[in-house]
Amino acid sequence: MGWWFPTDAYSTLGQQIDDLFYLILTIVGVVFIGTHIALGYTLWKGSQDPNRRSWFTHGSHTLEVIWTIVPAGILLFIALYQMDVWRMYRVQSAFPEDLLEVAEVTARQFEWRIRYPAPGRPLQLKPQKGDVYAVNDLHVPVNRPVLIQLRTMDVQHSFFVPSLRVKQDALPGQVIPVWFEVTKPGIYDLTCAELCGWGHYKMRGRVVAEAEEDFRAYLQRLAAEQAYDGVTPIETALSHAEKRQNEE
């Protein structure tokens, strides 16, 4: 991507978002450079003749029309150009058909609480028996579109994964669907991008993108650990959990 971004975009929509950023950067860069060239030329030209007197203007209707229409046209072009990306990311009817609903992510001062459905079962709006939980540790399968349901328990937060170019505010009283598809296995920083209180700086987690079989194995292990009775060996508990899923 370049030195002005921390990493490349490791999600399917991330590259399109970066392309949009480059477009805006190019337009702004051309205007910035052109303006400063014009200013520099004016200063140089005026310095060539110390006896030259300045002239003043009291407005130009033509110039006002130009510098109104041109920026408006550029903004309209950018708005139309980004509509497809916005639709794919924000409009639920445009979400991929093969979405895997992996978890409910609840923001809370100052942590991310993750609720996964019981292995082999779909995620429900309300907690169900057998659901498994984690804190600040969101696992997702790689190379598959995934959906999370984002909510907050208290104030406004913002779910932000810079390397995936994913950012969505969590608003009190709302459950907001967020989808993305990670294209490279790895561990990616999850941060809160909304000032949410004195502990905002430490509201960090991680998104672990892994092979789908590893993701399902992680859920199995998590379920076995949380159902652990303190007596049965953990490997036996894990084996029993896998057996129950196969029977279902």
pLDDT at 227: 74
Q: Locate the domains of the chain by residue range.
A: 12-43+61-90, 97-247
Mean pLDDT of the 121-148 span: 92
Q: How far is the CA of 90 from the CAs of 95, 128, 225, in angstroms?
A: 8, 28, 36
Tokens of 53: 């007197």
Confidence of residue 171 (pLDDT cuts 50, 70, 90): very high
How does residue 192 score in pLDDT terms, banded at 50, 70 and 90?
very high
pLDDT digit string, tens, across residues 9-42: 899 888 888 888 888 999 999 999 999 999 999 8
Under the banding of pLDDT at 50, 70 and 90, the label for residue 57 is confident
What is the pLDDT confidence band of residue 202, given thresholds at 50, 70 and 90? Answer: very high
Average pLDDT, stretch 76-83? 90
Lowest mean pLDDT among 20-24, 29-33, 165-169, 197-201: 20-24
**Contact at 8 Å (CB) between 166 and 180?**
yes
Q: Which CATH class is domain 97-247?
A: mainly beta
Higher pLDDT, 232 or 70: 70
Q: Is the pLDDT of residue 46 over 70?
A: yes
Q: Which two tokens stand for residue 99?
A: 């979405």
Answer yes or no: is pLDDT of 4 > 80.
no
The residue-averaged pLDDT of 163-191 equals 94
Residue 228 makes CB contacts below 8 A (sequence gap 6+) with 234, 237
CB 103 within 8 A of CB 205: no
